[in-house]
Amino acid sequence: MKKQKSLTVNFIMNVILSMSAFIFPLITFPYVSRVLLPVGTGKVSFANGIIAYFALFAQLGIPTYGIRACARVRDDKEKLTKTVQELLIINTVISAIVYVVFIIALLTVPKMRSDSTLFLITSSTIFFNVIGVEWMYKGLEQYTYITIRSIIFKFIGLILMFFLVREKADYVWYGFITIFAASASNIFNFINIHKYISLKPVGHYDFKPHLKAVAVFFAMSCATTIYTNLDTVMIGFIKGDIENGYYNAAVRIKSILVSIVTSLGAVLLPRASYYLENKLVDEFKKISQKALSFVFIIAVPMMVYFMLFAHESIYFLAGSAYDKSILPMQIIMPTLLFIGLTNIMGIQMLVPLGKEKYVLYSEIAGAIVDLVLNAILIPFMGAAGAAIGTLAAEAVVWIVQFRYLKEDVMHMFRSIHYGLIITATAISTAVSATTKLLSWHPFFILVLSAVLYFGIYLLVLTIGKEPLVIELEDKFLGRFIKKWKKQND
């Protein structure tokens, strides 16, 4: 058995990766939203929403299945090589078929044809996804490499954004830079793949076992993509690009926060799969318990804070032209908690246990709820109606997953210190709310309120001796103290 990579290091790397996803739009979106206005950002959001469906079919659920498959055989290079090559061949063939369908749609659908250049650029996501084999790197827990590579390309994208997006007509450049920052680094993934597997065709490929599993994961991806992208697509067709721009601003902030809340769960899937493959059930339960506690500790205060300071967040990040984004943002914030929980229960628990079909059931239920509520509410409420649909969908996904995992997770949920978390959140909210009385620029109100809110929140949890917080503080402070003593000896 090879030496395990540190979960702490993986988590830190993924948090840094998540924070880079936070910092990049934090810097660029205030600028871009003011240059392109809602109509420009709405066009890019609509194109990305459409391409997400093509990418969905091209990927066939491999991004999640591939992590589990590679994690299970990561100690055997021959088996790993065969697994990666088989999945890469499947992915390449399906992606080629999807590109043909995309070109036909581009030539025949008027709304796509009118912005063909933008759609062609955003479709490059499909190509980058194929060559990136990101699932292999995650299955091998190469989070340090993934993080460094991603940050470099985001920094390049940041520079390009200010040089190339200068007027309303530059929304195509905005679409290009968005794809470049998020996916172009996959080129290096393909170049470096020889370090982990053999590039020589192994032959005697057996696609059947993969296709059966991939079919379930593909169905899961279908359901997820439907209710995560259906909003922007339906708003685009029903209400137009401007309303999509309002919704995009609210969802953009939510997506940034979700990446932070789910940062731990992302690094646990390969480790959970590895534990179960090696019959380490107690270890599996232990990390699952910590992951659920982490979600509550992180998601609850974030949810409340950004509901309270939605006005300041929107005005700082997007400007006064996006004032209609405030209500949708407040409505959609509770999804942070639901998404965080289902990320752990579904991806980290049900999938490694081989019960991915229950994840599929939950996502189908969520997709149906989202579709029905969107159809009813978007024509009358626009972005706010879509936000309600998304919130209801995420709640339904959690309810269904909880039903199938009730016996396994009930004791985990009971061990969470709800009273302490709620108390810390309430005190933080009361103190930070006073900053709304100041006649300051939204940025300075956000800085002061965030320092007060999260500082007091952490202090209360520490005084209350919340177990996970104390464990993390002891671990990080212990390392700092050891390093300081070593330097001063």
For residue 336, pLDDT over 90 is answered with: yes
The residue type of 16 is: I
Burial class (CB in 10 A: 0-12, 13-18, 19+), 465: exposed
Q: Which of 358, 363, 356 is nearest to 339 (CA)?
A: 363
Q: Structure tokens of 141?
A: 């827990």
Give the Cα separation of 479 and 436 in Å (integer). 38
Give the Cα separation of 150 and 223 in Å (integer). 27
Tell me the pLDDT band of 454, cut-offs 50, 70 and 90.
Answer: very high
For residue 119, what are the contacts with CB-CB under 8 A and spacing of at least 6? 47, 50, 51, 106, 112
For residue 74, pLDDT over 70 is answered with: yes
Taking phi over 0 as left and psi of -120 to 50 as alpha, with beta for the rest, 301 belongs to: alpha
Percent of the chain with pLDDT over 70: 87
For residue 155, pLDDT over 90 is answered with: no
For residue 212, pLDDT over 80 is answered with: no
For residue 456, pLDDT over 70 is answered with: yes
For residue 177, pLDDT over 50 is answered with: yes
Q: Where are the domains of the chain?
A: 7-416, 419-489
Of residues 339 and 486, which shows the higher confidence score?
339
Q: Convert the pLDDT of each residue in 263-300 to its tens digit.
A: 665 555 556 656 666 666 677 777 778 888 888 998 99
pLDDT score of 103: 93
pLDDT score of 258: 82
Give the Cα separation of 59 and 224 in Å (integer). 13
pTM of the model: 0.69
Tell me the backbone φ, ψ of residue 446, rounded to 5 degrees. -65, -40
Tell me the pLDDT band of 391, cut-offs 50, 70 and 90.
Answer: very high
Give the Cα separation of 264 and 193 in Å (integer). 25
pLDDT score of 426: 96
CB distance 270 to 139 below 8 Å? yes
CB distance 445 to 435 below 8 Å? yes
For residue 193, pLDDT over 80 is answered with: yes
pLDDT score of 207: 82
